[in-house]
């Protein structure tokens, strides 16, 4: 059998399944034992190998073995020896044990995993994000004592993803034997659908239900339609990880109760852990973000320029960093020192909206003009005809241009339920796909409005 096995695999292998054969059959861990009464016996290292071979390769293996060996093979039995099972469980147990805190000084490995992730040490802490930052540190320093799941929510660009990616990197470096899985909710959904379609659901579940730390970003993606099978899978994943004492961190643009279509079972699960919010950066955080971003590019900024940027861009961290990038590029392109005059010139298109006009006022004015309405039509009670679409667009732009909650935006339009605003945002996202002119208008308005 050992001599015949390569020839059997060559018969099984095709252009379409070459990678699968290499992964599940060509491995040294899969060993042919023999043939008896038309039954080909194989030894596998884990139950996952056993299930995969049974599901995808039994028929082709039997046919190939019959042809190569010249004897009829009608069945293929794949079993996991007791020793292999014990060794596998021991390896899992060793990987799941969180090493002592003194291992924090482990030399930093090459960052093939997590390439492009932001680091925890570059996160600027202030009153607006202190609770979330401290919760992440506790997850890192005392994982066995941390409350989980940890649910971090706040508007776009406030640092939720930075915290989650920073924790993923720091946890992996401090506890090298641990398994860390970071995934965006949209990716989780796509991977789950693909696994169902391709018959690899068991492998998907092994990946998602066995890490020591699972981090899911942008879980509000679940609001974009019902997606019941995805929700069932995600909830089962949370349950299994919780029962095994594993750690889960989740981020969202909205708090659990503000995510449309999110069932009570999720709300209760998240509320039973730790739910913390991140708000708009305070003055000290804004200034430190600007200085840190400038230092990272070896460009000095005077206090006068720092104050100017911090006073005019107050909504989120991402735009502050973008403003510094623009200042640096402006100075290099025009060979100019970044003084106050240069800052005003470089950032004019970001900041010039008219004297004293607020972000929400500008958005309402622009949307009303786009639909040949006035602002009173947008916020009034009459919602017939084009008013409904215009209101939806205004809600969408306000939500994506600021860190306001659905409820706060709803108050502008006299809407009591946050779900109405969430529904409006979902509808406009669909409009943008089919209406290129509207999409261009919204993209331009978002670009001009993203400051407080």
CATH, domain range 359-449: 1.10.1750.10
Contact 450, 442 (CB under 8 A): no
- Render the burial of 342-352: b for 16+ CB within 10 Å, e for the rest: bbeebbeebbe
Per-residue model confidence (pLDDT) at position 164? 94
pLDDT of residue 98: 42
pLDDT at 103: 33
Residue stretches of the chain with pLDDT short of 70 = 15-16, 19, 23, 27-29, 47-48, 82-113, 223-226, 260-261, 351-357, 383-385, 450-452
Tokens of 189: 């959904």
Q: What is the CATH number of domain 120-276?
A: 3.40.50.300
Q: 40: which residues sit within 8 A by CB, 6+ positions away?
A: 32, 34, 61, 62, 65, 73, 75, 76, 77
- pLDDT at position 83 is 58
Condensed to tens digits (0 to 9), the pLDDT of residues 101-124 reads: 333 334 444 444 577 788 888 888
Identify the bridge partners of residue 96 per DSSP, sorted by sequence position: none
Contacts 24+ apart (CB under 8 A), 292-301: 292/122, 292/124, 293/320, 293/321, 293/324, 293/325, 294/324, 294/327, 294/328, 297/324, 297/325, 297/328, 299/327, 299/328, 299/331, 299/338, 301/327, 301/338
> So what's the pLDDT on residue 422?
86
Q: What is the pLDDT of residues 390-435, one digit of tens each?
A: 999 999 998 888 777 888 888 888 887 778 888 888 889 888 888 8
pLDDT number for residue 110: 40
Question: H helices of 199-263, where?
Answer: 201-209, 228-243
CA Rg, the chain, in Å? Answer: 28
Query: Would you list the domain boundaries of the chain?
Result: 5-85, 120-276, 283-351, 359-449
At 265, list the tokens. Answer: 């079972």
Integer Cα distance of 260 and 220 in angstroms:
8
Is residue 286 within 8 Å of residue 308, measured between CB atoms?
no
Determine the pLDDT at residue 244: 85
Identify the helix (H) or strand (E) that includes residue 436.
helix 436-449
Closest CA to 8 of 29, 28, 26: 26
Residue 282 CA, distance from chain mean position: 25
Query: For 34, left (φ over 0), alpha (ψ -120 to 50), or beta?
Result: left
Q: Residue 442: which of 363, 357, 360, 358 has the closest Cα?
A: 363
H-run or E-run covering 184:
strand 180-184
In angstroms, rounded to a whole number, what is the distance separating the alpha carbons of residues 309 and 326?
11
Helix, strand, or coil (residue 200): coil
pLDDT of 48 reads 66
Measured CA to CA, the distance from residue 179 to residue 70 in angstroms comes to 46
Three-class DSSP labels, 275-329: EEEECCCCHHHHHHHHHHHHHHCCCCCCHHHHHHHHHHCCCCHHHHHHHHHHHHH
CA distance 175 to 183: 19
Q: Please tell me the distance from the alpha carbon of residue 168 to that of residue 172, in angstroms, as a whole number.
A: 6
* Euclidean distance between CA atoms 6 and 3, whole angstroms: 7
Tokens of 203: 């492998």
Token pair of 260 as six digits: 């449309």
25-47: string of b/e by CB count within 10 Å (b at 16+)?
bbeeebbbeebeeeebbbbbbbe
- Nearest-angstrom CA–CA distance, 132 and 55: 45
CB-count burial class (<10 Å; 0-12, 13-18, 19+) for 422: buried
d(CA 193, CA 178): 27
> Is 248 in contact with 148 (CB distance < 8 Å)?
yes
Q: Please, what's the largest Cα pairwise distance for the chain?
A: 89
Handedness of CA 207, 212, 218, 219 (dihedral sign): positive
Tell the CATH superfamily of the 5-85 domain. DnaA, N-terminal domain (3.30.300.180)
Which among 129, 131, 182 has a CA at the least distance from the CA of 158? Answer: 129
Q: How many CA atoms lie within 13 A of 239 on its CB side?
A: 9
**Which CATH code fits 283-351?**
1.10.8.60
For the beta carbon of residue 341, count every other beta carbon within 10 angstroms. Answer: 11
């Amino acid at each position: 059998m050992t001599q015949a096995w390569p020839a059997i695999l060559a018969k099984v292998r095709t252009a379409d399944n070459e990678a699968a054969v290499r992964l599940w059959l060509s491995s040294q861990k899969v060993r042919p034992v023999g043939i008896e009464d038309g039954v080909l016996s194989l030894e596998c290292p884990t139950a996952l190998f056993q299930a995969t071979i049974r599901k995808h390769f039994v028929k082709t293996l039997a046919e190939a073995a019959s042809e190569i060996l010249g004897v009829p093979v009608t069945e293929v039995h794949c079993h996991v020896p007791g020793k292999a099972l014990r060794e596998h469980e021991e390896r899992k147990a060793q990987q799941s044990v969180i090493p002592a805190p003194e291992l924090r000084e482990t030399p930093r490995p090459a960052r093939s995993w997590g390439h492009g992730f932001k680091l925890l040490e570059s996160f600027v802490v202030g009153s607006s994000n202190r609770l979330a930052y401290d919760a992440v540190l506790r997850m890192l320093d005392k994982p066995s004592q941390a409350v989980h799941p940890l649910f971090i929510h706040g508007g776009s660009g406030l640092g939720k993803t930075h915290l989650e990616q920073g924790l993923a990197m720091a946890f992996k470096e401090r506890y090298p034997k641990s398994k860390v899985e970071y995934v965006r909710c949209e990716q989780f959904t796509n991977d789950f659908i693909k696994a169902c379609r391709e018959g690899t659901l068991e492998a998907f579940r092994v990946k998602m239900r066995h890490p020591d730390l699972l981090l899911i970003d942008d879980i509000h993606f679940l609001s974009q339609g019902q997606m019941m099978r995805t929700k069932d899978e995600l909830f089962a994943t949370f349950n299994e990880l919780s029962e095994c004492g594993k750690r889960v961190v989740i981020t969202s643009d909205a708090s659990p109760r503000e995510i449309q279509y999110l069932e009570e079972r999720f709300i209760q699960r998240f509320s039973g852990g730790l739910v913390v919010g991140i708000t708009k950066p305070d003055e000290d955080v804004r200034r430190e973000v600007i200085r840190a971003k400038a230092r990272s590019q070896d460009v000095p900024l005077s206090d006068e320029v720092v104050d100017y940027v911090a006073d005019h861009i107050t909504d989120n961290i991402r735009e502050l960093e973008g403003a510094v990038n623009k200042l640096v590029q402006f100075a290099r392109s025009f060979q100019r020192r970044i003084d106050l005059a240069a800052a005003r010139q470089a950032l004019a298109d970001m900041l010039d909206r008219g004297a004293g006009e607020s972000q929400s006022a500008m958005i309402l004015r622009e949307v009303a003009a786009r639909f040949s309405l006035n602002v009173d039509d947008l916020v009034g009670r009459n919602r017939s005809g084009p008013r409904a679409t215009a209101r939806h667009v205004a809600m969408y732009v306000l939500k994506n241009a600021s860190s306001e909650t659905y409820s706060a935006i709803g108050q502008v339009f006299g809407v009591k339920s946050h779900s109405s605003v969430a529904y409006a945002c979902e509808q406009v996202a669909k409009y943008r796909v089919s209406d290129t002119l509207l999409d261009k208008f919204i993209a331009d308005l978002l670009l001009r409005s993203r400051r407080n």
